[in-house]
Amino acid sequence: MSRGSASGPDDAQAQGAAPGLHGAVQPHGLLLVVHGPRLRIVQASTSAAALLQRPLDSLLLASVHELGGDLGPRLAALLAPGPLPALQPLRCTVGDGAQAQPFEGSVQPTAGGALVLELEPLQPPAGAVPTVERPAAELLRRLGDAVQRFSEAPSVPALAHAAARAVQGLVGHDRVVVSELDADGQAHVVAASHEPLHASPPAVGDALEPGSIAAREALLRQRLHLIVDVDARPARLLPELPPGHGDLCEGAHGRLHGPTARQAQHLRDGGVAATLTAALVCEGRLWGHISCRHGQPRNVGHGTRAAIELLAEAFGTRVLALQNYARAQVMTEVRRLEQQLLDATAVDGDWQAALLRRQHTLLEPLAASGALLCHDGQTLACGRVPAGVARQALLQWLQAQPAGTAPVHCAVLEATHPARRDGVCGVLAVRLSQTRPDALLWLRPEHAQGGVARPWSRDDLALAAAFGAALADLMLQVNAVRLLIAESQLAQLRAAVAGAPHAAIVIDAAQQACYANPAFHRLLGGHGQTPSGLDTLCLCFTDPALARRILGQVRAEQRPWRGPLALRRADGSVLPVTVRADPVPASEHTLLGTIFIFEDLSDARRAEAARARLDAALARTRRSARAAEAQALLGALLANAGLAAMDITEGGQPAAVPPLLDAVEASTARAAALLARIEQPGHGAPD
C-alpha cells in the first residue's frame, strides 16, 4: 500500500479531533452528564431512552439515584474522598427488580465540574451489532501464550508481529496494524496482520497520516477506543448545550464518541465498518498503538477488551526492556572503544581518526549511511557523506538550530539543500560541547520509496543522546591526557575540561601541577581550594588512609583502578562516589601523571532502592490469591516484569532507572488489576 493510502490511529480518530462531547454518541451505549451534589442529569444521549427503557424527558434533571440499581451508590462512593481526579472504570446496574440491567463503562470529570458517564450494556439487546467475546478460560490461555511470545521476542519488530497476531486472534478483525510514533508524533507501521481475502494492510515502514495532539492525549487517557458501526446513526446529546452551564463539559473525551461525517466517509472508502484502537504506553507516554479494522460492524466484549489492554501493558513492559537492552549493547561497545582510543591518543594524539576507523560502531546502531565528526575545527567523515559545499551547508544547518543539549534531527532536508544532490535526506546530530561547535552528525539517504528518509525514532534519539554523552566523557579523558602532553595548549584544553559535566582531577607525576574542574568542586559542595597533590586529595575522602593506599598503589604499579569511595562534602555530609584512576605512562618505566574521574553514586543508590521496592511489589503480587487457571498467566506477567527490571537495572543510566522501574511496577499492577477484572463473574462468554 502506498504511503498516501495509509491512515492513523483507528484511521478516524487519529486524523480528526479527539473523542469528546461533540454531540454524536455511538448508539450501542449511553452517555449521561451529571452535575451538582444531587448528581442530576443535565445532558443525555438519545440512546439512553431505549437502553434504560424510559422516556428521555424523564431522565433530564433527574438524579442518578432515581434510576434504580446501584449506579447512584457507586458514584457516591467514588466521590466520597473528594472530587474525582481522573477517568475511572465503572461497573453498575440500572433499574429496579427484574428491570435491573448490568452496565460497564467509565466516569470522568470535566473542566466545568460535571461528570460524564459512558455506559454500555453487558447484555446487548436483541438485534444489536454482533459482539466478539471469548470465554474466560480461553482468554487466559491466549493471554498466557501471547505474554510468553512477548517475553521471547528478540526485537521490537518481532514483538510487534507477535502482538498483531495475538490481537487478531482475540478480536478476529480483518486487519490489525501495530504502529510506533516517532519523535514528531508521526505513526509508522511496525507490523501488520490481515485476512488473506482482504486488501493488504500498510507495508512495514509506511508512514501513517498524523493524528492530532488531542487525539493522542485522548488515547493515552482512554487506552482503548472502538467504533462499532461506522454506518450506525449516531445518538445525539440533548440538550446540545446544558442551559446555564456554559463550558460545563469542556475537556471531556468519551469512549463512545463516534466518527465525524468526514471520518466516517474516509473509513467507508477504505471498506472499513468497525475499528478498535489500543494505546501502547511505555514510560508513561504514548509509544504507539494497535489499530484493528473490520469490514462488517462488530462490537468487542468487555472481557476481551480487558484482555487487549492487558496485552498492551505487557507489550509496553517488553518494549522498555528491549530498548534498555539495546542501549546497554551500544554503551558496552562504546566503553570497549574508550581504552582503544586512549591508547591511540597516547601514541599519536589522534583519537578522532581511531573512532571513525570503527565506523560500524557509529553507523549500524542508528541505521545511518554516513557520519561527520566536528572537533577542534576539523571535520572527519566515515561512510557515504557529501563533501565541499554540501558538507559545509550541513554544518551551517546545525549551527542554525536552537541551542541546547537535546539531539537535533530532521527526516527531510529542504529540496534546495546542497546535500540533497549527494543523496542525503535525514540528519541527526548531537552537540559535544556547550561552548564550541563540536558535534557528531549521522546521515540517512532517501527512503526506497522516495521523498523522505526513514524517520528518526525516539529510540534513535535516545541512542544518539547516550552516544553523545559517552563520547563527551571520552573527550574529557582524552583532553585530560592532552593536557598533560601539550603544555602549550593548556588554556584551550583547560576550558574543555572545565566545561565537562563529569568531576575530574589531573595530577602530574611530580605533583607540581594539579587541576580540579568545577564539577569536582560542585561534588564537594563548595568552591574551596584545589587539592595540591595526592596527599591533600586523600584528605577529601572519609577514609584518607584507605584512599592514600589505593591511589598510591595506582601510581606505583601504573595500573588503572576503579572502585567505590566516599567524599566528605563541605557541609560535613558523606557522598558515595566511584573513583576511576587512570595512570598515563610517559614511557615504559615512567609516569606522565594520573587522571581521576569521579561519578556520583547517589543515583545508583536510589536505583537500588527502587529495585528493592519493585521486587517487594512483585513478591506481594505473587502471594496474592488467584484461581488455579490464572496462576500460569500471573507467573508469566511477573516473569516479564522481572526480565524488564533486570534489563533496565543493567542497561539504564542510574538517574533514569528509578522512574523506569516505577513504570514497570505501575504497569504490572495495572496488568494484575486487569487480570482480576477478567476473572470477575460476568466477563467473558459462557464456557
- CATH number, position 453: 3.30.450.270
What integer pLDDT is reported at residue 27 of this predicted model? 92
- Which tens digits make up the pLDDT trace of 237-251? 888 764 444 444 444
Residue 143 sits in the same domain as residue 158: yes
- Cβ atoms < 10 Å from Cβ of 338: 17
Dihedral angle, C-alpha 158, 163, 166, 170, nearest 10 °: -170
- Asked whether residue 336 is domain-assigned, the answer is no
Which of 179, 137, 154 minimizes the C-alpha distance to 14? Answer: 179
Residue 496 sits in the same domain as residue 619: no
Examine the fold and report which residue of 579, 600, 621 is the final residue of a domain before the chain moves on: 600
With 70 as the cut, is the pLDDT of residue 628 above it? no
- Cβ atoms < 10 Å from Cβ of 673: 15
C-alpha cell at 392: 559545509
Examine the fold and report which residue of 314, 336, 361 is the final residue of a domain before the chain moves on: 314
Over the Cα atoms of the chain, what is R_g?
A: 30
- Which tens digits make up the pLDDT trace of 509-529? 877 667 888 888 888 887 556
Strand-pairing partners, residue 585, are: 591
What integer pLDDT is reported at residue 241 of this predicted model? 67
Residue 266 sits in the same domain as residue 290: yes
With 80 as the cut, is the pLDDT of residue 406 above it? yes
What integer pLDDT is reported at residue 293 of this predicted model? 94
With 70 as the cut, is the pLDDT of residue 646 above it? yes
In terms of pLDDT, which residue wins out, 344 or 170?
170
For residues 363 and 352, give the distance between their C-alpha atoms in angstroms, rounded to a whole number. Answer: 15
- Asked whether residue 341 is domain-assigned, the answer is no
- Asked whether residue 360 is domain-assigned, the answer is yes
C-alpha cell at 324: 534498555
**Any alpha helices (H) in 270-379, and if so which ranges?**
302-348, 351-357, 359-363
DSSP assignment of 184-241: TS-EEEEEEEE-TTS---PPTTPBPPPPPHHHHHHHHHHSEEEES-TTSPPEEEESSS
Q: At what angle do helices 602-623 and 631-651 cross, to 10 degrees?
A: 180
With 70 as the cut, is the pLDDT of residue 8 above it? no
With 70 as the cut, is the pLDDT of residue 10 above it? no
With 70 as the cut, is the pLDDT of residue 553 above it? yes
Buried b (16+ CB within 10 A) or exposed e, 167-188: bbebbbbbbbbbbbbbbeebbb
Residue 509 sits in the same domain as residue 416: no
What integer pLDDT is reported at residue 206 of this predicted model? 43
Examine the fold and report which residue of 121, 152, 167 is the final residue of a domain before the chain moves on: 121
What integer pLDDT is reported at residue 16 of this predicted model? 32
- Asked whether residue 325 is domain-assigned, the answer is no
Residue 14 sits in the same domain as residue 43: no
For residues 430 and 440, give the distance between their C-alpha atoms in angstroms, rounded to a whole number. Answer: 5
Q: Which residue has the cell 582531577?
A: 505
- Write the CATH number for 133: 3.30.450.40
Residue 527 sits in the same domain as residue 568: yes
Residue 156 sits in the same domain as residue 275: yes
- Asked whether residue 529 is domain-assigned, the answer is yes
Element (H, E) at 374: strand 370-375
With 60 as the cut, is the pLDDT of residue 18 above it? no
For residues 448 and 488, give the distance between their C-alpha atoms in angstroms, rounded to a whole number. Answer: 51
Residue 112 sits in the same domain as residue 145: no
For residues 389 and 400, give the distance between their C-alpha atoms in angstroms, rounded to a whole number. Answer: 16
How many separate domains does the chain show?
Answer: 5
- Asked whether residue 321 is domain-assigned, the answer is no
What integer pLDDT is reported at residue 279 of this predicted model? 93
Judge contact between 621 and 506, C-beta under 8 A.
no
- Write the CATH number for 33: 3.30.450.20
**Any alpha helices (H) in 416-543, and if so which ranges?**
458-485, 490-498, 518-524, 534-538
What is the pTM for the complete model shown? 0.63
Lowest-pLDDT range, 341-355, 448-462, 648-662?
341-355
**CA-angle at 371, arms to 370 and 373, nearest 5°:** 160
Residue 135 sits in the same domain as residue 274: yes
- Asked whether residue 232 is domain-assigned, the answer is yes
Residue 310 sits in the same domain as residue 172: yes
Residue 466 sits in the same domain as residue 519: no
Parent domain of 40: 29-121
With 60 as the cut, is the pLDDT of residue 546 above it? yes
* Section 587-614 average pLDDT: 82
CA distances from 552 to 109, 537, 561, 665 (A): 66, 12, 11, 45
What integer pLDDT is reported at residue 627 of this predicted model? 65
With 90 as the cut, is the pLDDT of residue 166 above it? yes
Residue 150 sits in the same domain as residue 298: yes
- Asked whether residue 684 is domain-assigned, the answer is no
With 90 as the cut, is the pLDDT of residue 124 above it? no
Which of 27, 28, 17 minimizes the C-alpha distance to 9? Answer: 17
With 80 as the cut, is the pLDDT of residue 379 above it? yes
